[in-house]
Amino acid sequence: MRVLKEGIEEYRQLVKRKYSIEITQAQAEQQFKELLALFRVIYKPIKRFDRNNFSKYNAKNEKK
């Protein structure tokens, strides 16, 4: 939970530096959570692919 709060605060600071606008805590929280959800959508298929396919591939090659 602490990491999430720190991430939200970092996001607020980033928006302030990059775009010179101040966003509220609620806006920062919403946008940051949307970014996390998007990251999970992109990252999970890659992680699943690595775990399932490469471990089987490596096991087959080690037996030879």
Question: Domain residue spans in the chain?
Answer: 2-63
Sign of torsion, CA 22 27 33 37? negative
Residues 27 and 35: their CA atoms lie apart, in Å, by 12
The contacts of residue 11 (CB under 8 Å, 6+ apart) are 28, 31, 32, 35
pLDDT digits (tens, 9 = 90+) for 15-61: 999 999 999 999 999 999 998 888 887 766 655 555 555 555 555 55
Whole-prediction pTM:
0.56
